């Protein structure tokens, strides 16, 4: 899950390790009657957000080659050398740019809800906000993504 928010493989591994260390340290306070998955997701989301905030990634609009995970570097190289459709690469680049244009919390909400299929209540629990706040955040994030897509691609109305 952390890989959906971070680009650099070293950051992903560091955050994953931090998540497990925090979860291990917090285990004595974990209620055994509570579901485990939402608890660990909440730790992962908050740890990832801390990393994004720490690195100042919320304002970056460009994705550098070194920021791409090894699998994406390989895929990009194969696209370049094997002549796969440019539309796939363009779509991936557009999605990356749209996500990069969002604040870390908006990006997380959008990935958790639309990418991973979490409900607004589950996203709210992970982000520490109400389900209503999540729905508002998602609405604004989608609006911003449409606006940025319109600027990048052209011809897409802002109020679509």
Could you read off the pLDDT of 73-130 as tens digits, one per residue? 666 666 555 555 666 667 777 777 788 888 888 888 888 888 778 888 888 888 888 9
Query: Which among 126, 5, 112 is positioned nearest to 54, based on CA atoms?
Result: 5
Architecture label for domain 2-153:
Up-down Bundle (1.20)
- The domain spans of the chain are 2-153
Model's pTM, two decimal places?
0.53
Query: Which among 24, 7, 18, 10 is positioned nearest to 46, based on CA atoms?
Result: 18
């Amino acid at each position: 899950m952390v890989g959906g928010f971070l680009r650099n493989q070293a950051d992903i591994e560091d955050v994953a390790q931090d998540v497990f260390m925090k979860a291990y340290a917090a285990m004595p306070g974990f209620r055994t009657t509570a579901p485990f998955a939402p608890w660990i997701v909440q730790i992962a989301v908050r740890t990832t957000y801390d990393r994004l905030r720490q690195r100042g990634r919320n304002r970056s609009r460009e994705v550098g080659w070194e920021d791409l995970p090894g699998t994406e570097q390989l895929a990009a190289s194969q696209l370049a050398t094997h002549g796969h459709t440019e539309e796939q690469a363009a779509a991936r680049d557009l999605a990356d740019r749209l996500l990069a244009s969002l604040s870390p919390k908006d990006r997380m909400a959008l990935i958790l809800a639309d990418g991973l299929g979490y409900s607004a209540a589950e996203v709210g629990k992970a982000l520490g906000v109400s389900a209503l706040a999540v729905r508002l955040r998602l609405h604004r994030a989608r609006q911003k993504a449409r606006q940025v897509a319109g600027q990048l691609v052209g011809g897409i109305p802002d109020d679509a």
